[in-house]
Amino acid sequence: MNKILPIILAAVLSSYSYADNKNDRYVLQNLNQDFITCGVFYSLSSSGAQKAKDAPKAKLFSEIAMKYYKESFDISKIINMSDEAVEAAAELTMKNMGREMKNDFINYSIIINKYGRFCKNLLEDPDSRLDYWIKKIK
């Protein structure tokens, strides 16, 4: 994923003619939130694996979460979003997912159903999500 950001930037900046800063910002803000959401999803997954005493999965999920967060912080720098704002967005997203699970890992399947496939796809094919946001502004 560390090679994603240059690809994303090239695609955003060249995908539509006469792109104005508002459009670029809209695309990157929304893509950034997607990365934050998936970072939180994998952070929660890591916590759940820790509670289940599955150290290998906890480590794997934590590493995946960190990849998402790194991409988010990189995108944030481009749109002049502070690190504190990224952290606040992640905290709000974490609280939201917690509420969706009724703050109990017994209900973890709720967020797996909602975010699992989305986040897997974002990791494997971020260009598709980028295209989605670009099409939203056309």
- Number of domains present in the structure of the chain: 1
pLDDT in tens, the chain (138 residues): 555 555 555 555 444 433 457 888 899 999 999 999 999 999 999 999 999 999 999 999 999 999 999 999 999 998 899 999 999 999 999 999 999 999 999 999 999 999 999 999 998 999 999 999 999 987
Question: Domain residues for 71?
Answer: 22-137
Structural domain includes residue 17: no
Structural domain includes residue 3: no
Q: What is the DSSP letter of 3?
A: T
Structural domain includes residue 37: yes
Tally of CB atoms within 10 A around 109: 11
Q: How far apart are CA 105 and CA 19, in angstroms?
A: 44
* Residue 66 neighbours by CB under 8 Å, 6+ apart: 39
Structural domain includes residue 13: no
Structural domain includes residue 10: no
Q: Are 87 and 72 in contact (CB under 8 A)?
A: no
Structural domain includes residue 50: yes
* Residue 2 neighbours by CB under 8 Å, 6+ apart: 67, 70
Structural domain includes residue 15: no
Whole-model pTM over 0.75 = yes
Write out the two tokens for 54: 């599955």
- Which residue type is seen at 24? D
Structural domain includes residue 5: no
Tally of CB atoms within 10 A around 117: 10
